[in-house]
Structures are given as C-alpha cells and as structure tokens.
C-alpha cells in the first residue's frame, strides 16, 4: 500500500526538491480582547517531507492548532516564514486540505451536497462534482446516507463526511486538527485505520500530512515522525522517528515492543511539558 513510497531521510528532507511543508522561525502573536499580547507559537522550525505523515503532540492549548492555521494560510505568521513546496504561503492554497476538530460540515446541506461543496467552489461542473462526491462517499462507507442531513448522522459518520469533503479535493497537503478527539475510543481506532487506508490508497503517493493530536498512541500509530511541542508558546522540543512498518493496523501496532519503547521515550519528553502547563494553570487559579 504505502510501504513502497519513497521514505524521506531522517531530517525530513526528501531526496530531491524542497520539503512539502517548511516553517522557518515562525511566530504568531495574537492580540487578546483585553489589549494584551498572546504568543501562541514562538520561533518554530519544522519540515515535512513529500508524502510524509507527521504527528504533532503537545500539552493542551500550547499552540498546536495555530501551527496548522499558519500552514493552511488562514493566518499569517507574525514573524518568520511558512513555505509550501518551497514557495511562501500568502493565502489559502488549492492543494491544501484541512480537517477541523469541531464539526465543520454545513448543517443545511445534505451529505452528498457537503462533499460536492469543494469541487463546486472550485468551479467543477455539477455532474462531475456529484460523481466524484459519490465516489468518495462510497470510499468512506456512506453511500447509503447521501441524502441525509448532518444532524441525522452519528459523530463518527459526520467525521467521515468531513474526510470525504476534504479528500474529494485531492489535497497534496493534508492538515488535521485533532480530528477524532470528539469520538469515542472504538470509533476513534476505526477512523484512524480508515484514515491510513484513504491516505495510502488515495492516489498512489499519499499526501503530506500534519496531524495534530494530544493522544500519544494515536500519534505513534499513524505517523512517520512525531514532533513533541513545548508548553505554550509552542516550539519544537524533540522529534521522534517512528520506524514501524506499513501498512499498519492501529489495534495491533500498539502491541509491538517497538511501539511501547517509543511511547515510553516520548512520554518522558511530553510529560514534562504537560506538568509545566498544569503547574501554570494551578498558579493562575491560585
């Protein structure tokens, strides 16, 4: 499936050409409503190779999501550079797909119409858009639900609609912001497997993925490379390579000794940041 795609070298640079995504000294400062400044991301360096699956983990509220909005072009960095395919990001690029943490499917559109939205927004004729949407609905197993409205679906089904909605645009860059965090544990494992399948089988070579999560197991099971962020303002603390063979099944891969070893190492690194975040929270309350 995906095992024959060219593996990137350990530093994230593919053998030829620029990395798919690169952040160079990127910082993002938000103005708070009270007039103060909040630094969400500070001096962030990160490279994602072509077709590489990178998971980003960090304590809650550390600025992981901001990293994604910078790459997506929804926000611009206050300082530093964000590059996609070697070009600076100045707006939303057509090759980018984004799966949001909360439900972002359009509640007033039927399931099919939701999946058609992307191609229609991009000027694809209606008939072709419908055909592509039906195809993707089939792949996420929702062909029978095409005429339903989102509120008639379960949380997992809605997430599948969101995946189909994103994948139908055939993104080369796939950004995912804790996409499965609102789902129950079983559905989550199932969705992770489905994601890997869609990613590996989509168009021969998988998209370059940045997957934000706070779930270490999820991160290791999915990714080629896991980036551990510091407590906010976020910056890269450590990068771990996950050399587990693909194709992977989430439920079985987590039983492998290598998985457990990586997990232990990563938790030592992440746990420290989580502790810092928690202590800060406690001192703020006190």
Partner 1 sequence: MSPESVTAAVVTRKRTEGRTEARARAARRRKLVVLGARTLLLVAVLVAWEVLSRNKAIDPFNFSMPSKIWDQLVQWTAHGTAHGSLGEQIGYTLYEALLGWVIGVTGGVLLGIVLGRVRFLADVLGPFIKILNALPRIVLAPIFLILFGLGTVSKVASAVVLVFFPVFFNAFQGAREVDRNLVANARILGASDRRVTLQVVIPSATSWIFTSLHISFGFALIGAIVGEYIGADKGIGLLVMDAQSSFNAAGVFAAMVILAVVALLAEVLLTFVEKRLFRWKPGGPGAER
Contact by Cβ (8 Å): 183, 155: yes
Closest distance to partner 1 from the beta carbon of 97 (Å): 7
Residue closer to partner 1 (CB basis): 151 or 264? 151
HSE-CB for 160 with a 13 A CA cutoff = 25
Q: What is the DSSP string of 117-157?
A: HHHHHTT--HHHHHHHHHHHHHHTT-GGGTTS-GGGS-HHH
Closest distance to partner 1 from the beta carbon of 113 (Å): 10
Residue closer to partner 1 (CB basis): 62 or 99? 99
Contact by Cβ (8 Å): 23, 81: yes
Residue closer to partner 1 (CB basis): 168 or 266? 168
Binding site for partner 1 (CB under 8 A): 72, 74, 92, 94, 96-98, 100, 102-110, 117-118, 121-122, 149-152, 165-166, 169
Closest distance to partner 1 from the beta carbon of 162 (Å): 8
Residue closer to partner 1 (CB basis): 144 or 260? 144
Closest distance to partner 1 from the beta carbon of 104 (Å): 4
Q: Crossing angle for the helix pair 111-121 and 126-139, nearest 10 degrees?
A: 130
Residue closer to partner 1 (CB basis): 107 or 281? 107
Instruction: Report how far residue 53's alpha carbon sits from residue 195's, in angstroms, rounded to the nearest whole number.
Output: 11
For residue 207, what is the DSSP state?
A: P
Closest distance to partner 1 from the beta carbon of 129 (Å): 11
């Amino acid at each position: 499936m995906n095992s024959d795609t060219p593996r990137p070298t350990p530093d994230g640079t593919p053998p030829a050409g620029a990395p798919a995504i690169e952040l160079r000294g990127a910082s993002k400062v938000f103005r708070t409503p009270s007039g103060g400044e909040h630094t969400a991301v500070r001096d962030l360096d990160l490279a994602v190779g072509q077709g590489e699956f990178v998971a980003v983990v960090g304590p809650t509220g550390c600025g992981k999501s901001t990293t994604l909005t910078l790459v997506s072009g929804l926000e611009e960095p206050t300082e530093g550079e964000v590059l996609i395919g070697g070009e600076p990001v100045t707006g939303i690029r057509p090759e980018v797909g984004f799966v949001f943490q909360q439900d972002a499917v359009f509640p007033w559109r039927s399931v099919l119409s939701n999946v058609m939205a992307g191609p229609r927004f991009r000027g694809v004729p209606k008939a072709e858009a419908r055909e592509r949407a039906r195809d993707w609905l089939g792949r996420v197993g929702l062909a029978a639900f095409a005429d339903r409205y989102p509120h008639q679906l379960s949380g997992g089904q809605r997430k599948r609609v969101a995946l189909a909605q994103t994948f139908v645009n055939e993104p080369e860059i796939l950004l995912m912001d804790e996409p499965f965090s609102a789902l129950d544990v079983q559905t989550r494992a199932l969705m992770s497997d489905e994601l890997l399948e869609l990613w590996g089988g989509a168009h021969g070579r998988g998209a370059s993925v940045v997957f934000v999560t706070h779930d270490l197991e999820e991160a290791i099971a999915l990714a080629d490379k896991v980036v551990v962020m510091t407590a906010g303002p976020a910056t890269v603390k450590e990068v771990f390579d996950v050399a587990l063979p693909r194709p992977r099944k989430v439920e079985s891969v987590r039983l492998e000794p290598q998985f457990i070893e990586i997990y232990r190492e990563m938790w030592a690194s992440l746990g420290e940041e989580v502790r810092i975040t928690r202590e800060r929270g406690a001192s703020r309350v006190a």
